[in-house]
A and B are shown apart, each in its own frame.
Chain A
Amino acid sequence: EPEVTQTPSHQVTQMGQEVILRCVPISNHLYFYWYRQILGQKVEFLVSFYNNEISEKSEIFDDQFSVERPDGSNFTLKIRSTKLEDSAMYFCASSEGERSSGANVLTFGAGSRLTVL
Protein backbone atom coordinates (compact mmCIF):
# COMPACT_ATOMS: atom_id res chain seq x y z
CA GLU A 1 0.00 0.00 0.00
CA PRO A 2 1.38 3.44 -0.89
CA GLU A 3 2.68 5.41 2.04
CA VAL A 4 3.95 8.83 3.01
CA THR A 5 7.61 8.68 4.05
CA GLN A 6 9.17 11.12 6.52
CA THR A 7 12.78 11.71 7.52
CA PRO A 8 14.33 11.96 10.01
CA SER A 9 12.25 10.00 12.48
CA HIS A 10 13.82 11.93 15.35
CA GLN A 11 15.95 15.06 15.37
CA VAL A 12 17.53 16.79 18.33
CA THR A 13 18.69 20.35 17.83
CA GLN A 14 19.87 23.30 19.83
CA MET A 15 17.65 26.34 20.29
CA GLY A 16 18.26 28.85 17.51
CA GLN A 17 19.34 26.28 14.93
CA GLU A 18 17.57 25.68 11.62
CA VAL A 19 15.86 22.36 10.99
CA ILE A 20 14.60 20.81 7.75
CA LEU A 21 12.07 18.00 7.89
CA ARG A 22 11.55 15.96 4.76
CA CYS A 23 8.58 14.12 3.34
CA VAL A 24 7.94 12.01 0.27
CA PRO A 25 4.19 12.11 -0.41
CA ILE A 26 2.29 9.37 -2.20
CA SER A 27 3.24 9.64 -5.86
CA ASN A 28 -0.13 10.46 -7.45
CA HIS A 29 -1.24 12.82 -4.71
CA LEU A 30 -1.63 16.50 -5.48
CA TYR A 31 -2.13 18.12 -2.06
CA PHE A 32 0.48 18.16 0.69
CA TYR A 33 0.18 19.16 4.31
CA TRP A 34 2.20 19.67 7.46
CA TYR A 35 0.69 19.19 10.90
CA ARG A 36 2.28 19.23 14.32
CA GLN A 37 1.37 17.58 17.60
CA ILE A 38 2.89 18.79 20.83
CA LEU A 39 3.08 15.97 23.38
CA GLY A 40 -0.31 15.35 24.92
CA GLN A 41 -2.05 17.91 22.72
CA LYS A 42 -4.11 17.82 19.56
CA VAL A 43 -2.99 17.49 15.96
CA GLU A 44 -2.67 21.06 14.67
CA PHE A 45 -2.79 22.17 11.04
CA LEU A 46 0.20 24.18 9.86
CA VAL A 47 0.06 24.51 6.09
CA SER A 48 -1.31 23.03 2.88
CA PHE A 49 0.45 23.09 -0.47
CA TYR A 50 -0.92 22.63 -3.96
CA ASN A 51 0.40 23.32 -7.44
CA ASN A 52 3.76 24.50 -6.05
CA GLU A 53 2.35 27.11 -3.72
CA ILE A 54 0.85 27.45 -0.27
CA SER A 55 -2.93 27.18 -0.46
CA GLU A 56 -3.81 27.56 3.23
CA LYS A 57 -1.89 28.22 6.43
CA SER A 58 -2.77 28.54 10.08
CA GLU A 59 -1.81 31.21 12.59
CA ILE A 60 0.95 28.90 13.81
CA PHE A 61 2.69 29.00 10.42
CA ASP A 62 4.51 32.30 10.83
CA ASP A 63 7.69 33.65 9.25
CA GLN A 64 9.73 31.10 11.18
CA PHE A 65 8.34 28.36 8.93
CA SER A 66 8.63 27.72 5.23
CA VAL A 67 7.74 24.88 2.88
CA GLU A 68 9.19 23.84 -0.41
CA ARG A 69 8.87 21.17 -3.05
CA PRO A 70 12.45 21.22 -4.33
CA ASP A 71 11.96 18.38 -6.82
CA GLY A 72 9.23 16.09 -8.09
CA SER A 73 9.13 13.91 -5.00
CA ASN A 74 10.20 15.71 -1.81
CA PHE A 75 8.18 18.16 0.28
CA THR A 76 10.09 19.93 3.04
CA LEU A 77 9.30 21.97 6.14
CA LYS A 78 12.01 24.37 7.27
CA ILE A 79 11.96 25.83 10.76
CA ARG A 80 14.34 28.75 11.20
CA SER A 81 15.82 29.62 14.57
CA THR A 82 14.07 26.89 16.53
CA LYS A 83 12.55 27.61 19.93
CA LEU A 84 11.93 25.28 22.85
CA GLU A 85 8.21 25.36 22.12
CA ASP A 86 8.82 23.97 18.62
CA SER A 87 9.46 20.58 20.22
CA ALA A 88 6.72 18.37 18.80
CA MET A 89 5.91 15.56 16.41
CA TYR A 90 5.59 16.90 12.88
CA PHE A 91 3.37 14.95 10.52
CA CYS A 92 3.35 15.22 6.76
CA ALA A 93 0.19 14.20 4.93
CA SER A 94 -0.89 14.00 1.32
CA SER A 95 -4.15 13.55 -0.56
CA GLU A 96 -5.46 13.06 -4.08
CA GLY A 97 -7.71 16.05 -3.77
CA GLU A 98 -11.47 15.93 -3.80
CA ARG A 99 -12.92 12.63 -4.77
CA SER A 100 -16.20 12.34 -6.62
CA SER A 101 -17.93 12.23 -3.25
CA GLY A 102 -16.47 15.62 -2.46
CA ALA A 103 -14.14 14.43 0.27
CA ASN A 104 -10.41 14.83 0.56
CA VAL A 105 -8.86 11.92 2.45
CA LEU A 106 -5.48 12.65 4.05
CA THR A 107 -2.87 9.93 4.47
CA PHE A 108 -0.30 10.66 7.17
CA GLY A 109 3.36 9.77 7.41
CA ALA A 110 4.86 8.24 10.56
CA GLY A 111 6.07 11.64 11.76
CA SER A 112 9.33 13.35 12.64
CA ARG A 113 9.91 13.99 16.32
CA LEU A 114 11.72 17.27 16.89
CA THR A 115 13.37 17.95 20.23
CA VAL A 116 14.75 21.44 20.80
CA LEU A 117 17.21 21.78 23.69
Chain B
Amino acid sequence: QKEVEQNSGPLSVPEGAIASLNCTYSDRVSQSFFWYRQYSGKSPELIMSIYSNGDKEDGRFTAQLNKASQYVSLLIRDSQPSDSATYLCAVNMYQAGTALIFGKGTTLSVSS
Protein backbone atom coordinates (compact mmCIF):
# COMPACT_ATOMS: atom_id res chain seq x y z
CA GLN B 1 0.00 0.00 0.00
CA LYS B 2 1.44 3.34 -1.04
CA GLU B 3 0.89 5.88 1.71
CA VAL B 4 2.12 9.37 2.40
CA GLU B 5 1.00 10.81 5.72
CA GLN B 6 0.86 14.45 6.81
CA ASN B 7 -0.83 16.30 9.65
CA SER B 8 -3.66 18.23 8.03
CA GLY B 9 -3.30 21.19 10.39
CA PRO B 10 -4.03 23.98 10.36
CA LEU B 11 -0.57 25.03 11.46
CA SER B 12 -0.64 28.64 12.60
CA VAL B 13 2.54 30.69 13.01
CA PRO B 14 3.16 34.43 13.40
CA GLU B 15 4.94 36.37 10.69
CA GLY B 16 8.70 35.94 10.93
CA ALA B 17 8.54 32.59 12.73
CA ILE B 18 9.77 29.21 11.53
CA ALA B 19 7.11 26.82 10.21
CA SER B 20 7.88 23.12 10.40
CA LEU B 21 5.97 20.66 8.22
CA ASN B 22 6.35 16.90 8.49
CA CYS B 23 5.67 13.90 6.30
CA THR B 24 6.11 10.13 6.61
CA TYR B 25 5.91 7.56 3.84
CA SER B 26 5.33 3.85 3.75
CA ASP B 27 7.55 2.61 0.91
CA ARG B 28 11.06 2.00 2.19
CA VAL B 29 12.58 1.95 -1.32
CA SER B 30 11.26 5.40 -2.30
CA GLN B 31 14.02 7.52 -3.80
CA SER B 32 12.64 10.96 -4.61
CA PHE B 33 10.74 13.37 -2.40
CA PHE B 34 9.06 16.64 -3.20
CA TRP B 35 7.31 19.51 -1.50
CA TYR B 36 4.60 21.29 -3.45
CA ARG B 37 2.61 24.33 -2.41
CA GLN B 38 -1.05 24.64 -3.33
CA TYR B 39 -3.04 27.83 -2.93
CA SER B 40 -6.79 27.44 -2.62
CA GLY B 41 -8.32 26.64 -6.01
CA LYS B 42 -4.92 26.45 -7.72
CA SER B 43 -2.64 23.68 -8.93
CA PRO B 44 0.35 22.26 -7.03
CA GLU B 45 3.54 24.24 -7.50
CA LEU B 46 6.95 22.71 -6.83
CA ILE B 47 8.92 24.22 -3.96
CA MET B 48 11.72 21.73 -3.44
CA SER B 49 12.93 18.27 -4.23
CA ILE B 50 15.30 16.12 -2.16
CA TYR B 51 16.85 12.77 -2.93
CA SER B 52 19.66 12.21 -0.41
CA ASN B 53 19.62 11.95 3.37
CA GLY B 54 20.30 15.23 5.14
CA ASP B 55 19.34 18.83 4.55
CA LYS B 56 18.82 20.81 1.37
CA GLU B 57 18.42 24.57 1.53
CA ASP B 58 16.87 26.93 -1.02
CA GLY B 59 16.36 30.48 0.18
CA ARG B 60 13.96 30.45 3.14
CA PHE B 61 13.13 26.78 2.62
CA THR B 62 15.00 23.76 3.99
CA ALA B 63 14.00 20.18 3.20
CA GLN B 64 15.22 17.40 5.47
CA LEU B 65 15.23 13.71 4.59
CA ASN B 66 15.78 10.67 6.80
CA LYS B 67 15.28 7.51 4.77
CA ALA B 68 15.91 5.20 7.71
CA SER B 69 12.98 6.77 9.55
CA GLN B 70 10.98 7.23 6.31
CA TYR B 71 10.54 10.87 7.21
CA VAL B 72 10.81 14.10 5.25
CA SER B 73 10.23 17.61 6.52
CA LEU B 74 10.09 21.19 5.28
CA LEU B 75 11.18 24.21 7.31
CA ILE B 76 10.10 27.69 6.26
CA ARG B 77 12.15 30.42 7.88
CA ASP B 78 10.95 34.02 8.30
CA SER B 79 7.40 32.96 7.42
CA GLN B 80 5.35 35.52 5.47
CA PRO B 81 1.57 35.87 5.10
CA SER B 82 2.06 34.95 1.43
CA ASP B 83 3.31 31.54 2.59
CA SER B 84 -0.22 30.76 3.79
CA ALA B 85 -1.22 27.75 1.67
CA THR B 86 -1.48 23.97 1.77
CA TYR B 87 1.86 22.19 1.57
CA LEU B 88 1.83 18.82 -0.15
CA CYS B 89 4.42 16.14 0.43
CA ALA B 90 4.90 13.92 -2.63
CA VAL B 91 6.91 10.73 -2.96
CA ASN B 92 8.02 8.79 -5.98
CA MET B 93 7.32 5.25 -4.90
CA TYR B 94 8.77 2.30 -6.73
CA GLN B 95 5.45 0.62 -7.42
CA ALA B 96 4.07 3.81 -8.96
CA GLY B 97 6.65 4.01 -11.72
CA THR B 98 7.44 7.68 -12.39
CA ALA B 99 4.25 8.98 -10.77
CA LEU B 100 4.17 10.88 -7.50
CA ILE B 101 1.97 9.89 -4.59
CA PHE B 102 0.72 12.85 -2.57
CA GLY B 103 -0.16 13.28 1.07
CA LYS B 104 -3.31 15.12 2.09
CA GLY B 105 -1.33 18.26 2.76
CA THR B 106 -0.77 20.53 5.75
CA THR B 107 -2.53 23.88 5.77
CA LEU B 108 -0.25 26.69 6.96
CA SER B 109 -1.60 30.01 8.16
CA VAL B 110 0.86 32.86 8.75
CA SER B 111 -0.58 35.79 10.65
CA SER B 112 0.76 39.33 10.32
Question: Among residues 84 to 113 in chain A, which have CB atoms less than 8 Å away from a CB atom of chain B?
Answer: 91, 95, 97-98, 101-111
Apart from A50-B98, A102-B51, A106-B34, what are 20 other A-B pairs with CB-CB below 8 Å? A41-B104, A42-B102, A44-B102, A45-B101, A45-B102, A48-B97, A55-B98, A56-B99, A91-B44, A95-B98, A98-B98, A101-B51, A102-B31, A103-B51, A104-B100, A105-B46, A106-B90, A108-B44, A110-B42, A111-B43
Count of chain A residues with Cβ under 8 Å from any Cβ of B? Answer: 27
Instruction: Tell me whether A75 is interfacial, beta carbon within 8 Å.
Output: no
Contact status B97-A108, CB under 8 Å:
no
Residues of B within 8 A of A (CB): 31-32, 34, 38, 42-46, 49, 51, 88, 90, 92, 96-105
Residues of chain B contacted by A33 (CB below 8 angstroms): 99
Residues of A within 8 A of B (CB): 31, 33, 35, 41-45, 48, 50, 55-56, 91, 95, 97-98, 101-111
